[in-house]
Amino acid sequence: MWIERKIHLSLHKYLTDIIDGSVRVVDESPDEELSVSTVAIVWGSIYNQPFEHGSEEIDILSWNILIYAETLAKRDYLLLQIYKSLKDHSVEVYDYPDNEESVVGRVFIDKVMGQPTRVPSELAERLHYRALIKFQTIFQEE
Protein backbone atom coordinates (compact mmCIF):
# COMPACT_ATOMS: atom_id res chain seq x y z
CA MET A 1 0.00 0.00 0.00
CA TRP A 2 1.28 3.45 -0.85
CA ILE A 3 2.43 5.65 1.99
CA GLU A 4 -0.11 8.32 1.01
CA ARG A 5 -2.95 5.84 1.68
CA LYS A 6 -1.37 4.85 5.01
CA ILE A 7 -1.27 8.55 5.93
CA HIS A 8 -4.94 8.90 4.92
CA LEU A 9 -5.99 5.95 7.10
CA SER A 10 -3.86 7.20 10.02
CA LEU A 11 -5.46 10.66 9.84
CA HIS A 12 -8.88 8.98 9.77
CA LYS A 13 -7.96 7.01 12.91
CA TYR A 14 -6.67 10.19 14.58
CA LEU A 15 -9.95 12.03 13.88
CA THR A 16 -11.96 9.06 15.14
CA ASP A 17 -9.95 9.10 18.38
CA ILE A 18 -10.39 12.84 19.09
CA ILE A 19 -14.04 13.24 18.08
CA ASP A 20 -17.07 12.30 20.15
CA GLY A 21 -18.47 8.86 19.25
CA SER A 22 -21.83 10.36 18.24
CA VAL A 23 -20.15 11.95 15.20
CA ARG A 24 -19.57 9.71 12.18
CA VAL A 25 -16.04 9.93 10.71
CA VAL A 26 -15.56 8.78 7.10
CA ASP A 27 -12.40 8.62 4.99
CA GLU A 28 -13.86 10.23 1.85
CA SER A 29 -16.73 12.53 0.96
CA PRO A 30 -19.99 10.92 2.07
CA ASP A 31 -21.60 9.33 -0.98
CA GLU A 32 -24.62 7.70 0.57
CA GLU A 33 -27.44 9.37 2.49
CA LEU A 34 -25.71 12.00 4.61
CA SER A 35 -26.24 11.57 8.31
CA VAL A 36 -25.35 14.48 10.49
CA SER A 37 -23.07 14.99 12.26
CA THR A 38 -20.41 13.68 9.88
CA VAL A 39 -16.73 14.53 9.50
CA ALA A 40 -14.93 13.46 6.31
CA ILE A 41 -11.18 13.45 5.66
CA VAL A 42 -10.49 13.94 1.94
CA TRP A 43 -7.14 14.01 0.18
CA GLY A 44 -6.64 17.35 -1.58
CA SER A 45 -3.42 17.49 -3.62
CA ILE A 46 0.24 16.55 -3.63
CA TYR A 47 3.29 18.51 -4.70
CA ASN A 48 6.99 18.45 -4.00
CA GLN A 49 9.52 21.10 -3.09
CA PRO A 50 13.27 21.22 -2.47
CA PHE A 51 14.34 20.43 1.07
CA GLU A 52 17.42 21.78 2.84
CA HIS A 53 19.42 23.55 0.16
CA GLY A 54 17.90 21.52 -2.66
CA SER A 55 19.59 18.26 -1.71
CA GLU A 56 16.36 16.30 -2.04
CA GLU A 57 12.68 16.90 -2.61
CA ILE A 58 9.87 16.23 -0.16
CA ASP A 59 6.25 15.54 -0.95
CA ILE A 60 3.68 17.77 0.68
CA LEU A 61 0.11 16.51 0.82
CA SER A 62 -2.84 18.79 1.36
CA TRP A 63 -6.02 17.59 3.05
CA ASN A 64 -9.58 18.77 3.50
CA ILE A 65 -11.78 17.94 6.45
CA LEU A 66 -15.45 18.42 5.63
CA ILE A 67 -17.81 18.97 8.54
CA TYR A 68 -21.58 18.46 8.31
CA ALA A 69 -23.57 19.28 11.45
CA GLU A 70 -27.22 19.53 12.41
CA THR A 71 -26.80 22.81 14.29
CA LEU A 72 -24.68 25.93 14.06
CA ALA A 73 -23.32 25.31 17.56
CA LYS A 74 -22.29 21.74 16.71
CA ARG A 75 -20.57 22.91 13.51
CA ASP A 76 -18.60 25.56 15.39
CA TYR A 77 -17.70 23.11 18.17
CA LEU A 78 -16.38 20.50 15.70
CA LEU A 79 -14.54 23.14 13.67
CA LEU A 80 -12.72 24.52 16.72
CA GLN A 81 -12.09 21.11 18.31
CA ILE A 82 -10.47 19.71 15.17
CA TYR A 83 -8.61 22.93 14.35
CA LYS A 84 -7.06 23.18 17.82
CA SER A 85 -6.09 19.51 17.93
CA LEU A 86 -4.37 19.67 14.51
CA LYS A 87 -2.55 22.95 15.03
CA ASP A 88 1.13 22.40 15.87
CA HIS A 89 0.66 18.66 16.03
CA SER A 90 1.97 15.50 14.41
CA VAL A 91 0.26 12.16 13.84
CA GLU A 92 1.79 8.69 13.85
CA VAL A 93 1.45 6.79 10.57
CA TYR A 94 0.67 3.10 10.95
CA ASP A 95 1.59 0.24 8.64
CA TYR A 96 -1.90 -0.37 7.22
CA PRO A 97 -3.13 -2.99 6.36
CA ASP A 98 -0.16 -5.23 7.23
CA ASN A 99 0.41 -4.32 10.88
CA GLU A 100 -1.87 -1.70 12.40
CA GLU A 101 0.25 -1.69 15.57
CA SER A 102 3.51 -0.84 13.79
CA VAL A 103 4.44 2.82 13.27
CA VAL A 104 6.21 3.53 9.95
CA GLY A 105 6.60 7.27 10.44
CA ARG A 106 4.92 10.49 11.39
CA VAL A 107 3.25 13.33 9.52
CA PHE A 108 3.84 16.86 10.65
CA ILE A 109 0.83 19.12 10.21
CA ASP A 110 1.26 22.62 8.85
CA LYS A 111 -0.83 25.56 7.62
CA VAL A 112 -4.12 24.64 9.30
CA MET A 113 -7.04 26.82 8.22
CA GLY A 114 -10.66 26.48 9.31
CA GLN A 115 -13.59 28.14 7.60
CA PRO A 116 -17.32 27.88 8.32
CA THR A 117 -19.55 27.72 5.26
CA ARG A 118 -22.44 30.16 5.42
CA VAL A 119 -25.79 28.46 4.80
CA PRO A 120 -29.00 30.53 4.91
CA SER A 121 -31.22 29.32 7.76
CA GLU A 122 -34.06 28.42 5.37
CA LEU A 123 -31.72 25.98 3.56
CA ALA A 124 -29.91 24.60 6.62
CA GLU A 125 -32.28 21.65 7.08
CA ARG A 126 -31.53 20.42 3.57
CA LEU A 127 -27.87 21.48 3.26
CA HIS A 128 -26.87 21.18 6.93
CA TYR A 129 -24.38 23.44 8.67
CA ARG A 130 -20.96 22.98 7.07
CA ALA A 131 -17.34 23.86 7.64
CA LEU A 132 -14.03 23.15 5.94
CA ILE A 133 -10.60 22.66 7.47
CA LYS A 134 -7.57 22.63 5.17
CA PHE A 135 -4.06 21.62 6.16
CA GLN A 136 -0.81 20.21 4.80
CA THR A 137 1.29 17.27 5.95
CA ILE A 138 4.94 16.37 5.56
CA PHE A 139 5.87 12.71 6.13
CA GLN A 140 8.97 11.67 8.06
CA GLU A 141 9.94 8.00 8.06
CA GLU A 142 10.83 6.32 11.38
Q: Model pTM greater than 0.85?
A: yes
Specify the CATH number for the domain of residue 26: 3.30.2000.10
Q: Residue 121 sits in which domain range? A: 3-141
Buried-exposed string 80-97: b where 16+ CB fall within 10 A, e elsewhere: ebbbebbeeebbebbbbe
Count: domains in the chain = 1
Q: What is the mean pLDDT of each run of 10 residues along the chain (142 residues)?
A: 89 93 84 79 89 76 93 93 91 85 92 90 76 94 84
Q: Is 64 exposed, middle or buried (0-12, 13-18, 19+ CB in 10 A)?
A: middle
